[in-house]
Amino acid sequence: MPLFDTVAATPALLIDHDVLDRNIERMAMSARTRGVTLRPHAKTHKCPDIARLQIAAGAAGLTVATVSEAEVFADAGFGDLFVAYPLWVDAARGARLAALAERARVTAGIDSAEGARALAAHAGTGIDVLVEVDSGHHRTGVAPGHAGAVAAAAAEAGLTVAGVFTFPGHSYGPGRPGDAATDESAALRTAADSLLAAGIAPGILSGGSTPTAHLDTSATELRPGVYVFGDAQQLELGTITEAEVALTVLATVVSVRDGVVVLDAGSKSLGADRAPWATGYGRILGVPDARITALSEHHATVAWPSARGTRTGGPDVAPPGLGSRLRVVPNHVCTAVNLADELVVVRGCAVVDHWPVSARGCTI
């Protein structure tokens, strides 16, 4: 009888509800203990059912990446949403934001004076803003010392500046979370000083990626996303163990040859993310020495440990036969979830629910 035989077809995204519960509670407790606000990033799960569990555990509100994600979560009844992105607001997006602000408290990111003026011009002044600063990831955000100038422009345009935010994305590398947390802390302090110098109270200092979320910084608010599910990146960074992996992709062995096993989950199910330091295109749950050496749209090519001759002490596991089912841990769970319409919720080996990925594809 194949694994999870009540799941009719693979690939399927499975959520282990018990692990999910523990992940949500652990992060909530960590935030509570340190007295910081938790505003989880909903781009990871895109699922109101999971957001409700986060709020029930004490989260103050949700973070989202796009206006369309905010719309989905506002429709589902969530009343406090931060779009952590330096939005460029034209007339169409402004109208959507203004409509959103009538049914939820909406905060948006800005990283330029022009962006602030466009937001005020097209969405009105019912949207509060946080100024994005660059803490070392070098993506978006102004230099922390320039936050005051952007904040002043926003205030001049009539907007309420609620604080500053940063994403320490350079925490995503082996050995990097500690330094990234230090960078984040310094950037948020410098940005707060810059706002004060411009005569604006800094209020919220928002930070926190999953790798840095348990480390102390000057952040008053944390926005981790991946922690709910975990993924192979977090496993390989050492921020979690297999026991904390809540989402896996159930896959079937469709082809076998010479120690190589091919699964029916490819880049259209797992996503194609692969950091330079990753060991492969994901991991096989329970078989730590297996390596996903290649990924096509509907194929994962797995070098099985007993045939690789490069075992690193993991268990000796017989290669699975045709039709066997395995659970794959995607490298980056946020992009894997965005490929699915539904999550199959299990407790132990029993399917207990199906949750829609309501904000799947919400990129606009």
Give the footprint of a copy of itself on this chain (CB under 8 A): 2, 8-12, 43, 65-66, 85-88, 90, 92-93, 111-112, 114-115, 118, 138-142, 169, 252-257, 260, 262, 264-265, 267-269, 271-274, 294, 296-299, 301, 322-323, 332, 334-335, 338-341, 361, 363-364
Which is closer to a copy of itself, CB of 36 or CB of 43?
Answer: 43
Q: What share of residues in the chain are helix, strand, coil (percent, to 5)?
A: 35, 25, 45
Closer Cβ to a copy of itself, 192 or 251, answer by number: 251
CA distances from 179 to 137, 164, 165, 184 (A): 12, 20, 18, 9
Shortest distance (Å) from residue 260 CB to a copy of itself: 8
Length of the chain: 364
Distance CA 98, CA 347 (A): 41
- C-beta closer to a copy of itself: residue 198 or 272: 272
Q: How far is the CB of 149 from a copy of itself (least distance, A)?
A: 14
Residue among 211 and 288 whose Cβ is closer to a copy of itself: 211
Counting other chains too, the contacts that 49-58 makes at CB distance below 8 Å and 24 or more residues apart are 49/353, 49/355, 49/356, 50/20, 50/228, 50/355, 51/76, 51/78, 53/20, 53/21, 53/24, 54/24, 54/28, 54/228, 57/24, 57/25, 57/28, 58/28, 58/31, 58/32
Residue with Cβ nearer a copy of itself (266 or 305): 266
C-alpha distance from residue 164 to each of 15, 88, 339 (Å)? 34, 17, 32
Q: How far is the CB of 25 from a copy of itself (least distance, A)?
A: 26
Q: Which is nearer to a copy of itself, 30 or 335 (CB)?
A: 335
- H-run or E-run covering 38: strand 37-38
Instruction: Give the nearest distance from C-beta 102 to a copy of itself in angstroms.
Output: 20
CB of 21 to a copy of itself, least distance (A): 25
Q: Which of 278, 264, 313 is nearest to 2 (CA)?
A: 264
**Residue 254 Cβ, how far from a copy of itself at the closest point, in Å?**
5
